[in-house]
Structures are given as structure tokens and as C-alpha cells.
Chains A and B, each alone.
Chain A
């Protein structure tokens, strides 16, 4: 029998029992749609959280938190410069930044204004390669020159202004540009509780550039970026401990972060990157998705009972016709195929409808639920946070379709086999 005729044949049969076939398809549709929608929540949440992580991190940044050195562990500050140079020369690595923070409280002073600040000691050249950029001015060329954070000017307040701000009033801070201004940097060593206040020292710097605005509008940057050579100067003058050193490796593209991370790990470095964070999350979400698909499959299995019933009834009803077909010369293989195709057709139609319905439900819930949730949070809602409830990637469509159609064909298997086993003589004896 030609394939076209087979399709024709099962279409005719399905038409003859419209209501029964329709209700069976409905059940298959509901089962499959349940599976897709349920699993889509796992995919959606995964996406929300992945987006959030990628959004809030320098995604191409890999932090080196140390290195294993046989028995002992090597702290970032003790990793030899030659090793870091090797990393710098790795493929896809654009920069290796070594950032130091002195163990001291820092205050910037200009005239009668002052602000608490964070000191970042680093090679500005390397920082620039890593993506550090200015909103104004130029990069320092001498050791006495510095770059200050975007919000520095606004944070430099007089004492009167500080009081005002404490009372919740708006203050303007330093008016005009800080570029070219000389800033005094006052460092006071950290002290433990109960310890006496320690002597502070100050240095003067010329501001040559203002860093660009931070990516997130809730971040404030009032740092002082100075050359790393100052670390030794500060430590000596104030008798400070060697502070923690951040070693950050920058990849050219996100897709290369994983490779670099793996290589560094092989070389014994303790590393931390977005791919690491996402990696451990992926494990969790893969398990969650698998679990949801499993639960959804139960719905598909329940629907398959309907398909089994429908096909069994179809075979019983058509016993005489099957007998005639066989008498005329139809192969048992053909009979089986026709019935399997019919149950597959129910599965396929149900799946197609289910996919369409699932996309509609997914769209609707992505629009409705975040609206309700975010509104109920009122003012506290996190800024620019997008909540994705449900995502249907093509992989989910493929998995759900395979499960639904597979289960439909499996449930049609027994009835189809029963059809092939029908005895011609018995079948022909049946009344019309």
C-alpha cells in the first residue's frame, strides 16, 4: 500500500469516530501541554537566574583565589610574577589584573570637603586592557596621578553638607570638574576593637581622569585608582600588613571563559568565574528540569490509557473489516502499521496542539505572573529585574514531542498486534 493511501485510510477511520478520536486527542493534548508547561517553569527559572548572574557580573572575569603548591596553599599575593605572566600570554586572555587594597581606612580631602573612599592599587595599563575606561580626562602617566570614581565629586562634602545629608536632605557635593585638582589622600590603619587610634598619614595626588559610570545605577563608585607601586609606600609608612591581593584574569569573550577556567584549574589554581557559578547552578537546574519532565510524563502516561482504550475499541469494532482486508491479501505487517499510524496520528495531533497551547500559556504567564508578583512587592522591587516564569526552548519541544508521540505509539502497540492476530474465518463470521 502506498504511503499516501495509508494516510487516507487512517484519516477515513478517524473521521468515522470523530467524537471518540477527538476526546482521545484532547487527553493527549492536555497531557503533553501539562508536561511542556511544567518543565518550562524549570527552564524559565534557570534563564531568569542565569540572566541575573550574567547581568551582575563581569562575565569575562576569572578570579584566581590561590594556587595549590603541594602540601601548602599559595595565597594570591604569593603567586610568582612569572606565573602570572604565563597566564597573561595564554590564548584568549586579554589582561591579568593584580589589585591591592591597603589595610587602612582612606579619606580623600579637597579644601574643606572630604569623602570616605576605597583605594584600588593596580597597574592602570593592565586595567585598561581589562576594560577599565574613563568618562572624562586621561589615564595617569606619572605615579602621582590618579583616577577617581565616577561618584567621587558628589561624595566630597563639607561638614555642613554631611549634617544635611544625615537629615535626609539633598546635597550637591563638589561642583565642577575634579580633573587637574590636587586631592589629599589620608590613610589611617585599620584598628581592632579596643585598640587606640593610630596615626594617619597623607599623600597628595593629581586627578587626571574620572572613571566611567558603573553599569548598574544602584552602584556608587568613589574609589581612588592609583598605581600599584604605592602599595609598598603605604605599607612602609604606616607599618601595614600586606593586604589581600585580587588577581583577576580577563578573557576576550564569555565563550572562552570556560576554557581558560579549566586550563587554570588544571595548572592548580583556585579559580572562580561566572562559568563556575553557572556550572554548579546548571547541575541543580538540570536535575530540576529532569524531575519536572518526569512528573509531566506521568500526565502523558495517563493520557496514553485513553489512547490504548480508543485503539482497542477501534480494533474490536473493525474486526470484520480487518478480516476482509486480510482475506483480500493484506499483510499482517500492513494491518499493524495502519493501527500504529493511527495511534501515532493521535499522538502527533495532540502534540502539535499541545505545543501551540503551551506557548500561549507560557506567554500569558510570563506577562501576568511577574506583573502580579512585582506589584505585590511594591516599592521594594529590585530595579531592572526581569522575571521569566516559563521558557520553552526547542529542546523541550523535541523532548516533549518524543515522549508524547513515543508513548502514543507504545500504547497503540498492543491493540495493533491484536489486530494482526485476528483470525480471518472468525472475523468473516461476524455480523455486519
Chain B
């Protein structure tokens, strides 16, 4: 499903004339198959988010190849990237990234609107999904009227609504307390089981990594296989 080969990336730091190259990814290779949950661990600043951003097509790598569903994405143009994301990826962010002016329902609806789906079909789909993630009660609430856990559920629903096969999550529980974290992790696990969704979860939290089928550790710009265990 996902095949990353020899990924290199560095950032230029400092003012012009006094620039330094900081290599972040030095030949990362990763394979994720369909229906897997893969966790990528690593210290702060190790380049986890950078790896995810390249995978998502938010930025282009300096070198290396990224194949998603048999398609090389690192050569796509911006507009093609957007289209590809709409079809293939759902995103879960640490700080939820909900639209403050839209209700929970409308936030979940947004990707379908962008897709150009009919209103009737859209409403039905969103209602269905909100029920599945246990949000039907708060559908009309705005983000500032929701708890952190609820907001993350909305954000997960938004990631799922387009039926994208791959969900990319950057610190999905980073802003939640441990109780809520468990809830969200259970939700992710059940979605993976029921819908066969593929998850790539980025975290620095060992606890989160326990839901993963496989764990990797990003260290010194390279990805090392971590221990494998099935938990919960």
C-alpha cells in the first residue's frame, strides 16, 4: 500500500549567507501493507512530522521515492497532490484542526463538499458516520463547544468521511489526557478492524504505539524497526 524508498531530506537553517544544512531524513525506507497500523516513534525533532508531510504530499522530498497505491507521489504537481490526497488520505492532527466557524457536522461534511458530492447524499453519509463515532448528540456544536476528545472524534470522522483507505495521524492523542487518549486509541483500533483502514500513526508516546501492528523508531535520520507486539 505504501512503499517509501531511500528518502532523503534536509532543511536550510539560518539567515542568508550564514546558512547551515540540517539533514533530517537520511535514507528512510518503509513499507506499509493494507489494513495495518504502523506507528512511528522518535524523539522530538527527529523528523517524524517531516516524514509524514512528505508522505502526505505537503512537501517534496529531496531524494527518494514514495509510492502510494502503486503511484509515485513525489513527482505530482500541487493540484494533482490535492486530488490524490482527497482520494487516498485522511488526516488526524494533534490539535484537531477543525474549522472554528463550522459545526461538528459541517466540519465532517467539508471534504465531501470539496469533492462536489450532492447535498442529500452528503448529509446521509455524515449522519451515519457521526453515529458510528458516537457524535450524533453534538453534531450541531461548534468546536469551541466540544471537549478535546470530542473534537478529535470529529477530526477522525472528517478523516474517514471520504472513504480514503489510508489515515495519517500526527500525534493524534498529543493534546488529550490519558483517559481520553485510551478512548481514541480504542476507536482507531476498532476502525482498523471493522473497516480495514490502514493507519500510519506518528507519536513520541510508547503507550500510543501499543495499538500498532508494527512499530518503527526514527533515529538519526534513519528508520529502525522496533519491537512488535499486539496490545490491549
Contact = CB atoms under 8 A, between A and B. Distances in A.
Interface of A: 1-2, 4-5, 9, 12-13, 16, 320-321, 323-334, 423-425, 428, 432
Given A1-B113, A5-B113, A425-B53, A326 B99 contact: no
Query: Which of B53, B86, B97 counts the most A-chain CB atoms under 10 A from its CB?
Result: B97
B114 A325 contact: yes
B85 A320 contact: no
Contact of A329 (B59, B82, B102): B82
A324 B116 contact: no
Given A4-B119, A321-B101, 19 more contacts: A1-B115, A2-B116, A12-B102, A13-B101, A320-B97, A321-B99, A324-B98, A326-B82, A327-B97, A328-B91, A328-B110, A329-B82, A329-B83, A330-B82, A330-B114, A331-B83, A332-B82, A424-B58, A425-B59
A331 B119 CA distance: 20
Contact of B99 (A1, A2, A324, A330): A324
Nearest to A421: B78
Query: Which of B91, B100, B114, B158 counts the most A-chain CB atoms under 10 A from its CB?
Result: B114
B93 interface: yes
B97 to A, nearest CB: 5
A427 to B, nearest CB: 9
Given A329-B114, A331-B79, A16 B101 contact: yes
B56 interface: yes
A332 B79 contact: yes
Given A425-B53, A432-B95, A328 B58 contact: no
A310 to B, nearest CB: 17
B111 A329 contact: yes
B101 A329 contact: no
A326 B111 CA distance: 10
Given A2-B116, A321-B99, A432-B95, A327 B56 contact: yes
Contacts of B59: 425
A320 B93 CA distance: 13
Interface of B: 53, 56, 58-59, 78-79, 82-83, 85-87, 89, 91, 93, 95, 97-102, 110-111, 113-116, 118-119, 158, 162
A78 B3 CA distance: 102
18 contacts: A4-B119, A9-B113, A321-B99, A321-B101, A325-B110, A326-B82, A328-B91, A329-B86, A329-B87, A329-B111, A330-B86, A331-B79, A331-B83, A332-B82, A333-B79, A428-B93, A428-B97, A432-B100
B58 A332 contact: no
Contacts of A1: 113-116
Contacts of B116: 1-2, 5
A276 B29 CA distance: 86
Nearest to A327: B91
Contacts of B110: 325, 328
A335 to B, nearest CB: 9
Contacts of A424: 53, 58
B95 A328 contact: no
B99 A327 contact: no
Nearest to B168: A327
Contacts of B98: 324
B78 A332 contact: yes
B114 A328 contact: yes
Nearest to B118: A2
Nearest to B57: A424
Contacts of B87: 329
Contacts of A328: 85-86, 91, 110-111, 114, 158
B83 to A, nearest CB: 7
Nearest to B52: A425
B194 to A, nearest CB: 23
B17 to A, nearest CB: 23
Contacts of A329: 82-83, 85-87, 89, 111, 114-115, 162
B203 to A, nearest CB: 17
Contacts of A425: 53, 58-59
A432 B94 CA distance: 12
A332 B83 CA distance: 10
Contacts of B101: 12-13, 16, 321
B121 to A, nearest CB: 11
State the 9 A-B residue pairs at the shortest beta-carbon distance, nearest first.
Answer: A329-B86, A329-B85, A424-B58, A5-B113, A330-B114, A328-B111, A324-B97, A331-B82, A425-B58
